[in-house]
Amino acid sequence: MSVAQPHIISEENPFIARETDLRILHNRPLRLHGGGILLCQNGHAVISIDTQLYDLRTDAQVILLPGSVVMIESADSDFRVVCFYFTRQLFEEAHRQFDPTFFHHLKHAPVYYHSPVSAMPTLHLLNLIVLAYADMSNDYRTEIASNYLRIILLNVYDKVRRNELRTMPEEYTRKEDLYHRFIRLILENCTRHRDVEFYANKLCISKRYLDTVTRATVGEAPKYTIDKHLIQEIKTLLAFSDMPLQQMADYLHFPDQSYLGRYFKRHTGQSLLAYRSAL
């Protein structure tokens, strides 16, 4: 089952670059097939990335990894970003030979707040990518965009490696490691499993210890974390697919459409149809 992407990237069209207000993501969560880089040019917004909220203001840079679930929670009327959206393959080519801990950093700290001066090189590169995207007759536009993407990532990688990776402990604490494994399991399984026991068993720990882990790491009960991710998945299906509600209930392994509707309303205060019709 696939969910339509608002702007399609593919082998034939491996990247998109333009200035936008990201209106397509306003209160509509989207799971990215590829990766993305955003640089805020004007205004202010609150963006949700994998259920975590971040402030976006002028010169804020966002790096979105493939598979991220993204939504704009609120935005000023003058909010604008330069957006570079690219395939997973393009991303993998651009970050070859990077330390794996860099991607752990990007996953948990996707937003970087530039000064006006430090934002200028990234803005210049993104503008060059926008020009390359517009040059449809250029046979090498994808290679050009890939090289610019690698330069942007190398610049971030250098700052992170020098300023942050050196100060990280060689190993995460056991609780941090368990929490990150828990989140990965949720992303892989929340459409089929929403009970805490399933995840505790996968992690080979008790439900009580999983509760201790999540509360110590992020201050949440594990069931709350599971439900939070599943609600975003439901919102994504409502926003970017025309799937009938009963089929959606089957896909998400709910007993029936009514059960799914009660679950969604309990967590959001809205019915499924009200949420879909408001988009």
Domain locations along the chain: 15-167, 174-278
- In this structure, the number of other CB atoms found within 10 A of the CB of residue 64 comes to 25
Please count the CA atoms within 13 angstroms of the CA of 23 that sit on its side-chain side. Answer: 6
How does strand 111-113 pair with strand 60-64? antiparallel
Check if CATH label 3.90.1170.40 holds for domain 15-167. Answer: no
Residue 196: partners with Cβ closer than 8 Å, 6 or more residues away:
207, 210, 211, 222, 223, 226
pLDDT, position 168: 53
Q: How confident is the model at residue 159 (pLDDT cuts 50, 70, 90)?
A: confident
In sequence order, which ranges of 59-169 are alpha helices (DSSP H)? 88-94, 100-108, 116-134, 141-163
Q: Is the pLDDT of residue 6 over 60?
A: no
pLDDT, position 99: 74
Q: Pick the more confident residue, 177 or 19.
A: 19
Please give the mean pLDDT across all residues of the chain. Answer: 90
pLDDT, position 174: 81
- pLDDT tens-digit map of 8-40: 677 778 999 999 999 999 999 998 989 999 999
Domain 174-278, what architecture? Answer: Orthogonal Bundle (1.10)
Q: How confident is the model at residue 69 (pLDDT cuts 50, 70, 90)?
A: very high
Q: How confident is the model at residue 48 (pLDDT cuts 50, 70, 90)?
A: very high
Least confident of 4-18, 108-122, 228-242, 259-273: 4-18
SS3 122: helix
Share of the chain above pLDDT 90, in %: 71
- In this structure, the number of other CB atoms found within 10 A of the CB of residue 97 comes to 5
What is the average pLDDT across 257-272?
Answer: 96
What is the average pLDDT across 167-192?
Answer: 79
Share of the chain above pLDDT 70, in %: 93
Q: How far apart are CA 156 and CA 269, in angstroms?
A: 40
Q: How far apart are CA 243 and CA 235, in angstroms?
A: 12
Phi, psi of 162 (to 5 degrees): -75, -35
pLDDT, position 162: 75
Q: Edge-to-edge strand order for the sheet containing 15-20? A: 15-20, 80-86, 35-42, 60-64, 111-113
Least confident of 102-106, 112-116, 138-142: 102-106
Q: Pick the more confident residue, 174 or 40.
A: 40
pTM above 0.85, yes or no: no
- pLDDT tens-digit map of 202-243: 999 999 999 999 998 888 999 999 999 999 999 999 988 889
pLDDT, position 278: 87
Q: Is the pLDDT of residue 171 over 50?
A: no
